[in-house]
Structure 1
Amino acid sequence: MSRTQPPPRHPPFVPHVQCSMQPEDDSLRLESASLGESAVTADDDGVKRSHKGESCENDEEGHLVYHIGLVMNERYEVVSTLGAGAFGKVVECIDRHRDEHVAVKIVRNIDCFREVAKSEIAVLEEINSLDDDNRFACVRMLDWFEHEGHICIVFELLGLSTFEFLRRNQFLPFSVEQIRHMAFQIFRAICFLHRNKLTHTDLKPENILFVSSEYDDKMVKKCVLSVRKCHFKRKLRSLDVKVVDFGTATFDHEHHESLVSTRHYRAPEVILDLGWNQSCDVWSLGCVLMEFYLDIHSSRKEHLAMMEKVLGPIPVHLLKQTRKQHYVHNEHLNWDRQSSSDNYIRKHCKPLKKYMQRKSEEERQLFDLLSCMLEYDVSRRITLEEALWHPFFSPMRPQKHQRS
């Protein structure tokens, strides 16, 4: 099996790339749910229906036009399409060497996407090397190769993303116990990255996948307008998850793009252009946990106004430091209190702890942890190392590791 020379492993080089994949444009979000199952089917994904002997070609956007049954690298046989995103498409393949199913990300044959793919390979090889016994919940890269000018990355086959599972489950929130189990795995995985001087930069429910999304139907009763109705809720058989999509992951020593993360999970220091570090991942995960608990989903200034409604005013010293001075007026957020957007915010947003539904001790601990993660000032925001010792995670730690 011939492979081109991989990008350098230590330290990996991430080039400064300008291309059309900007995180501000939600239509181009990298939907990494496509590493597992997805709503896209082989009937509506534009897959070329052809005989196995036909050559491959690119469409006008640089995607590989492929067919079911295509064998890539003399090893990976395409059996279905799992999903698509700005980067390209993800297909399920049979690995003929191992006789197992895998997910293959086929990157668009466009220079900027090729460079991002090379960066992701370097990061994934570093992760594989540092975590060779697979202790941390980061997706495993199994192989990579080039096919007809397209970089193809082979991953273990996972299940649905947490976002896609919520969507298919009518956005019924996860229980606090489920959130605890998933969060503990995610925090350990990202803490592992941070210890090794790496920031993920794009943490969101689409980039957290269940290892298996098999479920059982559970009948639940719900009162609607005083009428008691029964419906089915999907109950997962396993809460094991993995973090995916390392295409924009950045090492501490590398150039930090000014704009990172998908809008709803973007830290205030990124929006205010104050510079960022690993702490931006902590903010993003705080938003993710809030979405798991209660599905709440904006121009960037509107996003800041929503933050103020939930978390209180942005500290004056941060507003003074921002390069985005058009966001500031008289040391306050420059926001029109008479606008329709402000009406929406006042109607739908409220202080953080008022979202607490049952006021149980475990929920009080969850919201205390959230308030530590959703801290405007990076110097005061909790680290994931510290978060793992928060009382919320006490049930996850063996008794001998409990702090006195």
Structure 2
Amino acid sequence: MGPSLLRRPASASQSRSGKANDSFTFDFSIHQIKQVTVHIETRIAAEFKGNHLHKSLWTASGLIKAKVLSTKIRVIGYNQRGRSGLSSIYRNASYHHRDVQKNYYPTFPPEAHRDPSGDTETVFRSTFTGSKDERLAQQRERKQSLYRVQRSSQHRRGHHRSRRHSDSCPRNHRRRRSRSVEDDEEGHLIYHSGDMLRERYEIVCTLGEGAFGKVVECIDHSNGGAHIALKIIKSNERYREAALSEVEVLEQINSIDCDRRYACVRMLDWFDHHGHVCIAFELLGLSTYDFLKENNFQPFSIYHIRHMAYQIIRAVRFLHKNKLTHTDLKPENILFVNSEYNIKYNSKMRRDERTLKNPDVKVVDFGNATYEHEHHTSVVSTRHYRAPEVILDLGWSNSCDVWSVGCILIEYYLGSTLFQTHDSKEHLAMMERVLGPLPTHMLQKTRKHRYVHHDKLDWDVHSSSGRHVRKQCKPLRQYMASCSSDHEQLFDLIERMLEYDVTKRITLSEALEHPFLDCLRKSKSRGAWSYKRSRIIER
């Protein structure tokens, strides 16, 4: 998961379209886990800790981490927002609190973060049947099986033991690195409310977490008691290196934009705390995705979309001018400066709806930002916001950010993502359904030959997947809720951003000159820009 300043709430029971997920139940004994997981897909890595059997499964759709506890578990793959993990049912687990639930998040590349391939929640139940003696024999067999897994797992790991501890584990199950500093089993720093870091930052509460680490709210006692967001990176070397790269980018942004003219999050401080890179940020509000979710995925108004678009485009253009590509733009990485709202009752929908008081936003998460001169990995961006040139492995430039911004704006308009898929070929088919056929020259140049047949996308429109795409998607202009000039201009801007050919795709400098943003340019030219001032000019 691309690190995000705020946690994305997990919601495995409801898809982004608002539909409930299905559940499937299977019976299996503990010694059959291997057969079950092999049936799911290819490679299994098992790690044993006490009475817990951890399994990491690399599947065709991505990484799933499962944790077996006593006799009953619930395994969740990628849900609709890319949250993945496991929630446990402890009815038969006497060593654990009955009502506790915890999610375990795997580490996987950014492109999998929003992969909705796990929309279906699967419940595995292990049941003991037969007489008391038979049940005891099965339990003994289970313990012996777990012991064998423990020995083989320890042998494979050798000296490369990962830190796997738990807040709820006994103290002798934790790895103590100093008198007062410990990590949990995932490599997160163990902390409590009121703890002091660097004799300056007092921890208040946890704001969010992800594969990278956790974000906590802190009181900065060296700055008049100001509240800040502190990102505490895992002690894992991989995340440490990524965090240091992010610090480098944030330092450059601070130095270039010393007047704070652009809507990029500000880094206030950073330091090393016993192997954990800690980055202090200004405290912001909810992410735009979280606000949508808490508002029942009701779209933003055209006025709010205009103001958010203007700030996002200016901020990302600022990055591009300084030879940086963000590569992971999405609603989770756009945060409101202040997410306060008014509540109004919608009599048609028979529910309360939230209206933002101020739509000022900032771009966050520069952990994947890439300089023009740096090596470009072949895959970037979270699935729903990935440009076609990335999917087709044609190479990419900062124009991939433009495509992502276009996807974000249409999501703000609809309340849901435009391309809801986890499969690359289906993703391309959805693009063709919404935007028209892919250019022949792109299909001829691609190294992904399995996507192409006779210079066309190899896609059967009459298959079940083809029917799904036809039902799920429609031509872009058919999504317009109104034919007013505001809506026409917004869709014209989005169309230009979602241009297949990067040589024809609008640049962000050109986007700022688009008629949809005219009134905001006029507001800015007449003095200090503000939301209230621009609303007056709009009217």
Question: Shorter-chain-normalised TM-score: which range?
Answer: 0.7 to 0.9
Instruction: Determine if contact 2:307/2:359 at 8 Å carries over to the other structure.
Output: yes
Instruction: Determine if contact 1:28/1:86 at 8 Å carries over to the other structure.
Output: no
Q: Secondary structure at the match of 1:24?
A: helix
Which one of the candidate residues 338, 341, 357 is aligned to 2:481? 357
* Residue 62 of structure 1: aligned partner: 187
Instruction: Determine if contact 2:343/2:354 at 8 Å carries over to the other structure.
Output: yes
- The answer on 1:374 being equivalent to 2:463 is no
In the alignment, the residues of structure 2 paired with residue 395 and residue 231 of structure 1 have an alpha-carbon distance, to the nearest angstrom, of: 33
Instruction: Determine if contact 1:209/1:241 at 8 Å carries over to the other structure.
Output: yes
Which one of the candidate residues 240, 258, 282 is aligned to 2:360? 240
* Residue 113 of structure 2: aligned partner: 26
* Residue 434 of structure 2: aligned partner: 310
In the alignment, the residues of structure 1 paired with residue 325 and residue 524 of structure 2 have an alpha-carbon distance, to the nearest angstrom, of: 31
In the alignment, the residues of structure 1 paired with residue 280 and residue 409 of structure 2 have an alpha-carbon distance, to the nearest angstrom, of: 29
Q: Identify the range of structure 1 (156-165 vs 61-70) with the bigger mean alpha-carbon deviation.
A: 61-70
In the alignment, the residues of structure 2 paired with residue 149 and residue 48 of structure 1 have an alpha-carbon distance, to the nearest angstrom, of: 22
- 1:84-127 CA-to-partner distances (Å, cap 9, x unmatched) read 01111000011111111000000011111111001000000000
What amino acid is aligned across from residue 488 of structure 2 in structure 1? R
* Residue 210 of structure 2: aligned partner: 85
Aligned residues: 360
Residues 178-193 of structure 1: pairs in structure 2 closer than 5 A: 178-193=304-319
In the alignment, the residues of structure 2 paired with residue 92 and residue 400 of structure 1 have an alpha-carbon distance, to the nearest angstrom, of: 33
TM-score between both structures, scaled by the size of structure 2? 0.65
Q: Identify the range of structure 1 (242-251 vs 393-402) with the bigger mean alpha-carbon deviation.
A: 393-402
C-alpha displacement at 1:231, in angstroms?
2.1
Instruction: Determine if contact 2:443/2:452 at 8 Å carries over to the other structure.
Output: yes
What amino acid is aligned across from residue 258 of structure 1 in structure 2? S
C-alpha displacement at 1:283, in angstroms?
0.0
What amino acid is aligned across from residue 250 of structure 2 in structure 1? L
C-alpha displacement at 1:192, in angstroms?
0.5
In the alignment, the residues of structure 2 paired with residue 208 and residue 121 of structure 1 have an alpha-carbon distance, to the nearest angstrom, of: 18
Identity across aligned pairs (percent)? 60
Query: Which has the higher Rg, Structure 1 or Structure 2?
Result: 2
What amino acid is aligned across from residue 240 of structure 2 in structure 1? R
Which one of the candidate residues 106, 111, 119 is aligned to 2:245? 119
- 1:342-361 CA-to-partner distances (Å, cap 9, x unmatched) read 21111120111111111111
- 1:144-201 CA-to-partner distances (Å, cap 9, x unmatched) read 0011210000000000000000000000000111100110011000011111110000
- The answer on 1:337 being equivalent to 2:461 is yes
C-alpha displacement at 1:68, in angstroms?
1.2
In the alignment, the residues of structure 1 paired with residue 517 and residue 115 of structure 2 have an alpha-carbon distance, to the nearest angstrom, of: 35
Instruction: Determine if contact 1:76/1:94 at 8 Å carries over to the other structure.
Output: yes
* Residue 167 of structure 1: aligned partner: 293
C-alpha displacement at 1:230, in angstroms?
3.2
* Residue 227 of structure 2: aligned partner: 101
Residues 253-268 of structure 1: pairs in structure 2 closer than 5 A: 253-268=373-388
TM-score between both structures, scaled by the size of structure 1? 0.86
Q: Identify the range of structure 1 (389-398 vs 158-167) with the bigger mean alpha-carbon deviation.
A: 389-398
- 1:361-403 CA-to-partner distances (Å, cap 9, x unmatched) read 110000111110000000000000000000000110127959x
Which one of the candidate residues 397, 402, 405 is aligned to 1:282? 402
Instruction: Determine if contact 1:47/1:66 at 8 Å carries over to the other structure.
Output: no
Unaligned 5+ runs, structure 1: 1-18, 30-45, 223-228
* Residue 175 of structure 2: aligned partner: none
Distance 1:208 1:49, change over 3 A: farther
Which one of the candidate residues 492, 496, 511 is aligned to 1:387? 511
* Residue 370 of structure 2: aligned partner: 250
In the alignment, the residues of structure 2 paired with residue 334 and residue 87 of structure 1 have an alpha-carbon distance, to the nearest angstrom, of: 37
In the alignment, the residues of structure 1 paired with residue 292 and residue 168 of structure 2 have an alpha-carbon distance, to the nearest angstrom, of: 31
- 1:219-259 CA-to-partner distances (Å, cap 9, x unmatched) read 2232xxxxxx5321111111110000000001111111111
Q: Secondary structure at the match of 2:110?
A: coil
Instruction: Determine if contact 1:48/1:67 at 8 Å carries over to the other structure.
Output: no
Moved over 4 A (4+): 46-50, 399-402
- 1:116-142 CA-to-partner distances (Å, cap 9, x unmatched) read 001000000000000001110000000
Greater relative CO (CA pairs within 8 A, separation 6+) = 1
What amino acid is aligned across from residue 72 of structure 1 in structure 2? L
Distance 1:63 1:319, change over 3 A: same
C-alpha displacement at 1:77, in angstroms?
0.8
In the alignment, the residues of structure 1 paired with residue 463 and residue 381 of structure 2 have an alpha-carbon distance, to the nearest angstrom, of: 27
C-alpha displacement at 1:23, in angstroms?
1.8
- The answer on 1:230 being equivalent to 2:350 is yes
In the alignment, the residues of structure 2 paired with residue 47 and residue 24 of structure 1 have an alpha-carbon distance, to the nearest angstrom, of: 30
* Residue 214 of structure 1: aligned partner: 340
